[in-house]
């Protein structure tokens, strides 16, 4: 962290680089703000700096109603619906849509499946199922390139319900079947 004078100068300039990194508590008002807040800059003797909104609240300060510091960058509330999409992506990468359907995933996130699909289209221009399929194909390609497992085994490990589904996905994505790709590159062991 910078010393007090450097922090205060950044606050006085309303430096956006500090937004979400430091919080400014004003002793005379009992309020804490983001460094970009448009409220009048308090005197240096009335200011304390905190590393988090929680720290400022713990010290007895209330959030500013103008700049809403509890929604500063890096807070889930600031990221809005992107937070839900990021949580869903982590679950999909962990194989959630390999084991369950879209409705079950949405239920785990506390939203409806149609809303989840809308959020994915808004943030990623793809549906959750398209993302899951893309991840499965990528896992299968890695297994195909680095192991000598059978196509059936690769399909199961990558999250496909059958080798036929794997073949279909590969044909759509790459324009060739997994077995053709293996025979042209040769199988390699890790």
pLDDT tens per residue across all 190 residues of the chain: 568 888 898 889 998 888 878 899 999 999 999 988 888 999 999 999 998 888 889 999 999 988 888 776 666 656 678 888 999 999 999 989 988 999 999 999 999 999 999 999 998 889 999 999 999 999 999 999 889 999 999 999 999 989 999 999 988 888 888 887 665 444 444 3
Please say whether the structural domain 4-76 has been given the CATH code 3.40.10.10: yes
Please give the Cα distance from 70 to 186 (Å, whole number). Answer: 55
What are the helix (H) ranges across the chain?
A: 4-13, 53-58, 76-79, 81-93, 96-99, 102-109, 113-124, 128-146, 151-158, 163-174, 178-185
Which residue ranges make up each domain of the chain? Answer: 4-76, 80-126, 136-185
pLDDT at 55: 87
Which of these is catalytic: 24, 37, 135, 163?
Answer: 37
Contacts for 27 with CB less than 8 Å, ≥ 6 apart: 46, 47, 48
pLDDT at 66: 86
User: Torsions phi, psi of 128, nearest 5?
Assistant: -55, -35
Which of these is catalytic: 24, 33, 132, 154?
Answer: 33
Please give the Cα distance from 138 to 40 (Å, whole number). Answer: 53
pLDDT at 187: 44
Is 153 designated active site? Answer: no
Which of these is catalytic: 24, 26, 64, 131?
Answer: 64
H/E segment holding residue 23 = strand 23-26
Please give the Cα distance from 187 to 190 (Å, whole number). Answer: 10
pLDDT at 30: 95
pLDDT at 22: 87
What is the fold of 136-185? Arc Repressor Mutant, subunit A (1.10.10)
Q: Which residues pair with 33 in a beta bridge?
A: 24
Q: Own/partner pairs for 42-50, CB < 8 Å, 24+ apart?
A: 44/4, 44/8, 47/8, 47/11, 48/24, 49/1, 49/4, 49/7, 49/11, 49/22, 49/23, 49/24, 49/25, 50/22, 50/23, 50/24, 50/25
Is 33 designated active site? Answer: yes
Which of these is catalytic: 67, 85, 96, 109?
Answer: 67
Is 67 designated active site? Answer: yes
Residues, the chain: 190
């Amino acid at each position: 962290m910078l010393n007090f004078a450097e922090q205060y100068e950044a606050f006085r300039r309303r430096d956006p680089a500090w937004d979400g990194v430091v919080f400014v508590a004003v002793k005379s008002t009992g309020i804490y703000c983001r460094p970009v807040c448009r409220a009048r800059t308090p005197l240096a003797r009335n200011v304390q700096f905190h590393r988090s909104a929680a720290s400022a609240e713990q010290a007895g300060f209330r959030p500013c109603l103008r700049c809403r510091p509890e929604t500063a960058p890096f807070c889930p509330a600031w990221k809005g619906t992107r937070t839900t999409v990021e949580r869903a992506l982590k679950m999909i990468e962990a194989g959630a849509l390999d084991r369950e359907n879209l409705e079950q995933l949405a239920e785990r996130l506390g939203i409806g499946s149609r809303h989840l699909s809308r959020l994915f289209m808004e943030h990623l221009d793809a549906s959750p199922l398209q993302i899951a399929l893309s991840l499965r194909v990528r896992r299968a390609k890695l297994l195909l390139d680095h192991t000598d497992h059978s196509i059936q085994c690769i399909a199961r490990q990558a999250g496909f319900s059958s080798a036929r589904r794997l073949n279909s996905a590969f044909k759509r994505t790459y324009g060739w079947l997994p077995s053709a790709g293996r025979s042209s590159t040769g199988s390699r062991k890790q």
